[in-house]
Amino acid sequence: MSYSVIYQDIGLKEFKEAWEYQEKIFAELVEKKRRSNQGNITLNDSPGTLIFVEHPHVYTLGKNGSENNLLVDYLQLKAKDAAFYKIDRGGDITYHGPGQIVGYPVFDLEAIKIGLKEYIYLLEEAVIKSLKDFGLEGSRLAGGTGVWLEAENKGKARKICAIGVKVSRFITMHGFAFNINTDLSYFNNINPCGFTDKGVTSLEKETGSRQDMEKVKNILKGNLQEVFSLEWTN
């Protein structure tokens, strides 16, 4: 059985604005689910939402992360035209910026009938499948979420997609950040995801050419649809 999902590409949005928008959708889905459990509506009336967005330069720190992994002070952040937020997802610190596909699935895992571990695995799987379209072999790293290239090759492991999520009442928030045409110099200001011995990369860097964002979005959207058995709805 497919899970109905509304797809929204909201373009370039400040992180805080997109976060508040996510929270609104999350609260509405929680309320619809509560009413469904009372027999007032059915789960078919409670579709999930998949948001694609790009953010202006921003660093976000997960609830269990260390602020020591931010390697610049607030004045230096301002000089780099970057914002900083402590947020309620898992994971440590990461960077979001133009040229990066940030995905925020607001899904009901109970309706999909999967747990958190499988949810993260499937997010990774959709990115791994998408990389194959560009001749790249993505993989997972033991002890670290996200998608990597040469994950087990010491000194060469580099992350191309970070994942950090929140789940409450089986409903998800936050999600993934897939580096496409990302300015990787901004990662020099942090220990990405808390790692000090691993690098970051982008699709542009790995392929040697700037990528069409819309093309990559369509490929990724299709793979998310496949791995989660999604049905797009309005």
* Extents of the domains making up the chain: 3-228
Q: Kindly give the pairing relationship between strand 3-12 and strand 93-96.
A: unpaired
CATH topology of domain 3-228: BirA Bifunctional Protein; domain 2 (3.30.930)
Q: What DSSP designation does 183 have?
A: -
Q: What DSSP designation does 83 have?
A: E
Instruction: Output 90 or 158, whichever has higher pLDDT.
Output: 158
The CA distance from 32 to 29, in Å, is: 5
* pLDDT at residue 41, as a whole number: 47
CB distance 40 to 122 below 8 Å = no
Q: Which one from 50, 61, 122, 193 is the annotated catalytic residue?
A: 193
Residue 88's φ and ψ, nearest 5 degrees, are -100, 25
pTM: 0.90
Residues contacting 88, CB < 8 A, separation 6+: 63, 166, 173
The CA distance from 16 to 22, in Å, is: 10
Q: What is the per-residue pLDDT across 95-150, written as a single tens digit (0 to 9) for each? A: 999 999 999 999 999 999 999 999 999 999 999 999 999 999 999 988 888 999 99
Please report which confidence band the pLDDT of residue 42 belongs to, taking 50, 70 and 90 as the band edges.
low
- Mean pLDDT over 23-40 rounds to 82
161 is catalytic: no
Return the closest-CA partner of residue 204 out of 116, 98, 117: 98
Instruction: Output 63 or 47, whichever has higher pLDDT.
Output: 47
Please report which confidence band the pLDDT of residue 45 belongs to, taking 50, 70 and 90 as the band edges.
low
Instruction: Output 142 or 37, whichever has higher pLDDT.
Output: 142
